[in-house]
Amino acid sequence: MQFFETEMQRLREQNLFRNLQTIHKTQGVQIELVDGTRLIDFCSNNYLGLANSPGALAEAKQALDVVGMGSTASRLLSGNHQQHERLEKSLAHYVGTQAALVFSSGYAANVGVIGALVGREDAIFSDALNHASMIDGARLSGAKIFIYPHRDTQALEKLLLEHARHFRRKMILTEGVFSMEGTCAPLPKLNELAMQHQTILYVDDAHGLGVLGKNGRGIFSHFNVSIDADHVVYLGTLGKSLGAMGGFVAGKNNLRAYLINFARTFIFATALPPAVCAFAASIVENLMANAASIEKLRSHCRYFMEKTKHWDGFSRRQNELVPIQPFWIGDEKKTLQAAHHLWQRGIFARAIRPPTVPMHEARIRITLTAGHDEQHLDALIAAMQDIAA
């Protein structure tokens, strides 16, 4: 169709066209492309370096031997296996809630859960920089959406005072750690506002789980805010720090039962493979007992921030424990050039451009992991010096 080429040409002219990069092999933080090029990966969300954990892989293999690769059905049919329930119990215990429910992805969880909790008679108060899955879930729910500036609790409070009383149910919608900013939600104040205005507090902690708090229990643990409350809905993913795939929602027992009956992306989706659940459960259970990988990651974050603290592009960073280190450039073409420069220096770090971020706020999104070592970080810093100058 002609409009395909028209639209793609428009993207090329605006330096917004994207393509896929095929990876042939991964060895720790080293990736090898199909043409043999080898790069140090600073794009991965595998923050704790656990995606190839031998113990967890062994548990996944055992599950494969028992039930095969696929779960074969939705969990309400014949797809509910022991490993799903094991994982949910482990996740609930890990984050500190009564129960958890696993979805096929974090995206599916956000779309399904937001739509199950609020509808056309309700209101959502959403941070301006929330993830696309949260935006889509909010739009599809049919609720009235009020946007407040990023992390601006005064603006949020004003919106709540003006509008909250006019709606049946209300929801404050926020990421825990913002995936493209590396900033943390002001959770204590958000929790206070949620209680004052009898509002659901929905926190997508995809990038905080495994990173922040005691043993990586997430942003609620980090801020010492109670997660085990009737108004709290907590979302996490299995595909980042936990090294697997999928998403989950945690909260009270009645929340889990409600979502089994009302979340369409749970009801009508084939369940995650039991082997994936066994892998993730093994990771979670080990994190509860051993935080060595978390401490290593935090050490890397502190080291990198200390070395780059005077660089203008990193001026918006706030939390030394967050592995997301965006380097703001602004201009889309210059950002592509910066990514290419890093590539030539053996560093794999992608240019982040609209629609992932607002226009003229393009950046290089660097992610640190426990799998890196000091030599990797020094190589990155050396490669970035020309960009930062």
Q: Contact, 30 vs 24, CB < 8 A? A: no
Q: State the pLDDT at residue 279.
A: 97
Q: State the pLDDT at residue 289.
A: 87
- 203-214 pLDDT, tens digit each: 999 999 999 999
Domain positions in the chain are 18-47+291-388, 54-289
Q: State the pLDDT at residue 342.
A: 96
Instruction: Measure the CA–CA gap between 221 and 97, rounded to whole angstroms.
Output: 12
Q: State the pLDDT at residue 386.
A: 84
Q: Contact, 179 vs 352, CB < 8 A? A: no
Q: State the pLDDT at residue 388.
A: 80
Q: Does domain 54-289 correspond to CATH entry 3.30.230.70?
A: no
Residues recognised as catalytic: 179, 207, 240
CATH topology classification for 18-47+291-388: Aspartate Aminotransferase, domain 1 (3.90.1150)
Torsion (CA) 120, 265, 231, 248 in degrees, nearest 10: -160
Give the residue ranges of the chain where pLDDT is below 70: none
